[in-house]
């Protein structure tokens, strides 16, 4: 009977073997637990521990997944997560790499709404002191909504009935879906900066919390609060409330009520018909769908590259933590060296040298003063000599010796030759004192 030779693994080989078995056995698991030891490094990845009363499990949510979260992770939050089990090789720890997280017992949208509401309220974005009165008779009304929804039909009907001559500037946007919020915020900022509207209506028809969610997004709320003109929020029905309602200057229960709030009643009929302007938004939406599909296809075709990227990102965070510790130790060591050097300087103070050198200071000052006086006297004499030379060369000195400067009138050209003038020309002669105005009666030839 032959004895099989025993196989000896290296630590790395065994770790890789365990990792492969884990990833093969648990590619997609759901786990429930409480978040603890949450870390959020500058890389954007989230690291925390899932625990219950008996055990704990390390978890990683990489940046791409963290950016898709609608709420913020917090210590002590009970969550349900989905991911795959793997092993972080440098430390030999098994962990779950997450691709989905939701709060337990409360919807992700609801908890995200409460967190954002609390944050913006502390900044004062919902304070009554920020609210502005609506203009009595605006020149033009701005409207941010969808061209295909019921809200625009209700608003147009009311405006037509109450004020048919009212100007209307529409910024068509999608009012539902993941891409809606930044487009709505951009439209609000554009109308605000245009200077072409005096009041703005932002809204849509009713719907579920998910349908109205874009009006709870931080980018939309901040755009409303930062608008240069008053904003009327008209989101959903009377029972629907969003953060856009809290930030707006006036909250209307329905889009029709918003139109009634911004314009007075007039009797004329509307003669202009608004044309459809949603083609660009639809084209952009189709293009985004194509790009999104291409990204999804690439993501499915290169899972190995994605896995390597995630592992390198985790290693980078690990190295960053080590670097912080090393830098802390170096700073402490340098601080101790500085204290020792200061003590050494104090024990061998150069104060006595300074005192001895101070005896020479008055003598040096006296010498410097004498040298400066001599230089000033020499410079003063040189200036007098230069002034005398300049005085001799001055045109005024030449005039004083009996000469004059003759100029034509009115051009003021200096006459140097007799042929430069003609009989009848007027001339101005400048003397040492005063000027003469003369006429040319005869031009004599050169002698």
Are β-strands 93-103 and 167-172 bridged in parallel, bridged antiparallel, or unpaired? unpaired
The contacts found for 35-42 with CB under 8 angstroms, 24 or more apart, are: 35/73, 35/74, 35/75, 35/76, 35/77, 35/78, 35/79, 36/75, 36/76, 38/73, 38/74, 38/75, 41/317, 41/320, 41/321, 42/320
Among residues 213, 137, 141, the alpha carbon closest in space to that of 178 is found at 213
- Which CATH architecture does the domain made up of 11-105 adopt? Beta Barrel (2.40)
Write the pLDDT tens digit of every residue in 407-432: 888 888 888 888 888 888 888 988 87
Q: Does the domain spanning 126-291 belong to CATH 1.10.3720.10? A: no
- Positions in the chain whose pLDDT score sits under 50: 268-278
Q: What per-residue confidence (pLDDT) applies to 193?
A: 92
pLDDT of residue 274: 36
- Mapped onto helix, strand or coil, the DSSP state of residue 38 is strand
Q: What's the pLDDT score for residue 308?
A: 65
Cβ-based neighbours of 46, under 8 Å, separated by 6 or more: 38, 39, 40, 60, 61, 62, 66, 73
pLDDT of the residue at 110: 67
Are 60 and 97 spatial neighbours (Cβ–Cβ below 8 Å)? Answer: yes
Q: Collapse the DSSP code of 106 into the 3-class scheme (helix H, G, I; strand E, B; otherwise coil) and give the result.
A: coil
Q: What is the pTM of this model?
A: 0.41
């Amino acid at each position: 009977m032959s004895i099989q030779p025993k196989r000896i693994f290296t630590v790395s080989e065994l770790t890789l073997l365990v990792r492969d078995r884990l990833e093969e056995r648990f590619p997609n698991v759901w786990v429930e637990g409480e978040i603890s030891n949450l870390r959020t490094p500058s890389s954007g990845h989230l690291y925390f521990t899932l625990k219950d009363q008996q055990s704990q499990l390390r978890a990683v949510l990489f940046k791409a997944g963290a950016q898709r979260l609608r709420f913020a992770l917090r210590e002590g939050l009970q969550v349900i997560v989905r991911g795959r089990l793997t092993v972080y090789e440098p430390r030999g720890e098994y962990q779950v790499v997450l691709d989905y997280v939701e709060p337990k017992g409360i919807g992700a949208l609801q908890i995200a709404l409460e967190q954002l509401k609390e944050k913006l309220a502390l900044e004062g974005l919902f304070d009554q002191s920020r609210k502005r009165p609506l203009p009595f008779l605006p020149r033009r009304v701005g409207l941010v909504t969808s061209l295909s929804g019921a809200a625009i039909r209700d608003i147009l009907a009311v405006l037509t009935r109450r004020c048919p001559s009212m100007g209307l500037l529409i910024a068509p946007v999608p009012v539902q879906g993941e891409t809606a919020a930044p487009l709505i915020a951009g439209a609000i900022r554009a109308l605000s900066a245009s200077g072409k509207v005096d009041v703005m209506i932002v809204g849509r028809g009713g719907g579920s919390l998910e349908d109205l969610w874009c009006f709870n997004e931080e980018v939309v709320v901040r755009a409303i609060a930062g608008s240069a003109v008053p904003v009327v929020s008209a989101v959903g029905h009377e029972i629907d409330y969003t953060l856009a309602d809290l930030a707006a200057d006036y909250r209307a229960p329905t889009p029709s009520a918003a139109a009634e709030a911004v314009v007075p009643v007039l009797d004329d009929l509307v003669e202009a018909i608004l044309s459809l302007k949603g083609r660009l938004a639809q084209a952009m939406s189709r293009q985004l769908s194509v790009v999104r599909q291409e990204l999804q296809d690439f993501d499915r075709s290169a899972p190995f590259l994605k896995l390597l990227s995630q592992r390198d990102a985790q290693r980078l965070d690990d190295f960053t933590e080590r670097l912080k510790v090393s830098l802390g130790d170096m700073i402490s060591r340098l601080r101790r060296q500085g204290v020792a050097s200061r003590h050494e300087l104090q024990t061998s103070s150069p104060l006595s040298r300074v005192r001895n050198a101070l005896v020479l200071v008055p003598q040096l000052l006296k010498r410097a003063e004498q040298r400066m006086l001599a230089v000033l006297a020499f410079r003063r004499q040189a200036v007098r000599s230069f002034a005398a030379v300049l005085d001799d060369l001055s045109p005024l000195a030449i005039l004083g010796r009996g000469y004059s400067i003759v100029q034509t009138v009115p051009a003021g050209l200096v006459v140097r030759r007799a042929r430069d003038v003609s009989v009848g020309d007027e001339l101005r002669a400048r003397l040492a004192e005063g000027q003469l105005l003369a006429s040319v009666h005869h031009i004599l030839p050169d002698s």
